[in-house]
Amino acid sequence: MREDEMNNGARSELRIGAAMVGGDAPVKPDVVAVTGAGGFIGSHLVEALLARGHRVKALVHYTGRGTHGWLDTFSADQLAAIDVHSGDIRDRGTVQRLVEDASVVYHLAALVGIPYSYLAPQSYVETNVVGTLNVLESARTVGTPRVVVTSTSEVYGTAVTVPMTEAHRLRGQSPYSASKIGADKLAESYHLSFGLPVVTLRPFNTYGPRQSTRAVIPTIISQLAAGTGRIELGATKPTRDLLFVADTAAAFIAAGTAPAEAVLGQVFQAATGQETSVGELVRRIAGIFGVTPEIVVTEQRLRPSNSEVERLLGDSTRLRRHTGWQPLSSLDDGLKTTVEWFLDPGNLSRYRADRAV
């Protein structure tokens, strides 16, 4: 399956506020910081934080065009509550300016996409490992009250036992996953060595509106939308635990707002406890379109054989017990919402269905 991790009703933007975060947690107008704020999950998290009344300091990757990723699609009212910082997670000064005065730092900035990590592994280390070091060291310097670090279910590699708990062994089956293991363990070391108030969240395979077509669900949708009756994919047998992005955003907020004694220094995974194969995903999404496509497995979309993660199935008992979080979106509802979003011509025009890396 040479696709990015299957990462990741009403439109997603409206559903985020409905995901459960520790019951009826009070809305606080604190200033919070989000790295990777212009990305897929980061932009949804920013929306959810704004809905709770926060002001958000948002780090987006600097470009000469002055673009801010998915934040460019936000309303004027939303943007009024966001302090956008254009910069690079690899620059310590940029990161330290971002985290000053923030009550919580949500660190989501990362170089994603497993296929590209085979081509440019050094860039993954510099962004994902060194970038995380910059966040941790900056938070340590300014005394940030809480840092939520993003890990991933890819740190586990193929499941040895299921359902997988936070104690499952780690295995770097791609340069991407190895870089995330490095970031994950750096966060652990900063808590144990310096007492930094860190929480590490390992979401399973997040999907939903705004996801890159490097991930398999947008790949399937965009190819079906092209109307050729043919879908090019990698392996179709691997299974994933698929989490709708609204629920992932809620998991981040749960980790950032739960009582300190319940979460600091701990690792939590957000998962549904259900697994779905790539082939089953095609069947369900094609059913929404009302078509029966031809599936073509191409060499370009296959991972190297020893790098393929065959099975991921998570257990979120710890996160549920410590924070009250729970996923609210069924797979069918989440897929319908995602298809609806991608079929909007303005959204679909941002993607290329033929892009495999």
Note the pLDDT of residue 336.
98
Whether residue 142 is contained in a domain is answered as yes
Note the pLDDT of residue 354.
57
Whether residue 120 is contained in a domain is answered as yes
Note the pLDDT of residue 19.
43
Note the pLDDT of residue 118.
95
Note the pLDDT of residue 305.
79
Whether residue 322 is contained in a domain is answered as yes
Note the pLDDT of residue 301.
86
Note the pLDDT of residue 3.
38
Phi and psi for 205 in degrees, rounded to 5?
-80, 95
| E strand or H helix that includes residue 231 | strand 230-233
Whether residue 340 is contained in a domain is answered as no
Whether residue 130 is contained in a domain is answered as yes
Quick one: residue 158, left, alpha or beta (phi over 0 = left, psi -120 to 50 = alpha)? Answer: beta
User: Is the separation of the CB atoms in 150 and 248 below 8 Å?
Assistant: no
**CATH number for position 47:** 3.40.50.720
Whether residue 334 is contained in a domain is answered as no
pTM value is: 0.90
Whether residue 37 is contained in a domain is answered as yes
Whether residue 288 is contained in a domain is answered as no
Residue 127 belongs to domain spanning: 12-207+243-273+311-328
Count of domains for the chain: 1
Note the pLDDT of residue 353.
55
Task: Please state whether the peptide bond connecting residue 209 to the residue before it is cis, i.e. omega within 30 degrees of 0.
Answer: no
Low-confidence ranges of the chain (pLDDT < 50): 1-28, 356-357
The catalytic residues are 176
